[in-house]
């Protein structure tokens, strides 16, 4: 009576997995009855996908502040203020403004600056529209495009302020009118999300 069942395939086989099976057959190894192939059970070294850009750039800094004891409401206020201050229509001033506001309200300075950095491109997008809207408040007409303004600013910030100071004042006026409702809206939108993230963080620490 035979003690093992040996299955050997045709010698004209090009599949690598089947060649492994044939080699085992030639060496006299018995195969399981379900046709298991030695290569089929080999673990594959697959790199797990890293965290997405949303988690890496936004969620993880917020989680870090939650773990350090910052309240969800203060984080939501920091996000709302930081993103709104980032759109202040005077180039090179948003970091100073964010720092002053963070100190005055006792908010987290790194998170405030990080939020401002995150929304910095929005400042460039809103710069010309705010200046145009400032014309309704009596500011002079802006005759340059954003790229031309950037060239003038890099050439000499002092001269830029002299040439576009009155236009900038109109944009600042419009921004001051829009900032309070924008901050309130962003705060009430961010607060539920941050509170939910805080609950998940506490649950993960407890588990």
d(CA 18, CA 100): 71
Quick check: 95 pLDDT over 50? yes
Residues 6+ apart with CB under 8 A from 157: 92
The b/e string for 104-120 (b: 16+ C-beta within 10 A; e otherwise) is eeebbeebbbbbbebbe
Q: What is the pLDDT of residue 204?
A: 63
Percent of the chain with pLDDT over 70: 69
Q: What is the pLDDT of residue 84?
A: 96
Q: What is the pLDDT of residue 156?
A: 79
Q: Which residue would you say has higher pLDDT here, 144 or 10?
A: 144
Residues 6+ apart with CB under 8 A from 145: 128
pLDDT band per the 50, 70, 90 thresholds, residue 189: very high
Which structure tokens are listed for 124? 């460039």
User: Kind and range of the H or E element at 54?
Assistant: helix 53-54
Quick check: 184 pLDDT over 80? yes
**Apex CA 72: angle with CA 71 and CA 76, to 5°?**
120
**Apex CA 86: angle with CA 83 and CA 91, to 5°?**
175
Quick check: 13 pLDDT over 70? no
Q: Which residue would you say has higher pLDDT here, 175 or 135?
A: 175
Mean pLDDT computed over 192-202: 83
Q: Which residue would you say has higher pLDDT here, 19 or 121?
A: 121
Whole-model pTM: value is 0.65
**Nearest partner of 75 among 191, 178, 171, 205, judged by Cα:** 191
Q: Using an 8 Å Cβ cutoff, are 171 and 130 in contact?
A: yes
d(CA 55, CA 143): 41
């Amino acid at each position: 009576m035979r003690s093992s069942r040996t299955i050997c395939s045709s010698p004209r086989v090009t599949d690598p997995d089947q060649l492994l099976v044939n080699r085992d057959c030639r060496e006299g190894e018995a195969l399981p009855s379900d046709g298991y192939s030695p290569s089929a059970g080999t673990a594959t070294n697959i790199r797990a996908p890293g965290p997405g850009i949303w988690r890496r750039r936004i969620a993880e800094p917020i989680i870090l502040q939650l773990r350090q004891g910052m309240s969800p409401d203060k984080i939501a206020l920091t996000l709302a203020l930081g993103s709104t201050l980032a759109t202040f229509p005077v180039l090179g001033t948003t970091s100073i403004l964010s720092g002053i506001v963070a100190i005055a309200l006792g908010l987290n300075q790194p998170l405030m600056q990080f939020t401002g950095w995150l929304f910095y491109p929005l400042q460039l997008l809103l710069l010309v529209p705010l200046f145009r809207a400032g014309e309704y408040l009596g500011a002079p007409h802006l005759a340059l495009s954003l790229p031309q303004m950037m060239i003038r600013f890099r050439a000499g910030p002092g001269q830029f302020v002299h040439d576009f100071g009155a236009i900038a004042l109109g944009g600042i006026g419009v921004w001051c009118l829009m900032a309070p409702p924008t901050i309130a809206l962003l705060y009430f939108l961010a607060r539920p999300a941050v509170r939910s993230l805080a609950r998940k963080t506490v649950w993960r620490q407890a588990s």
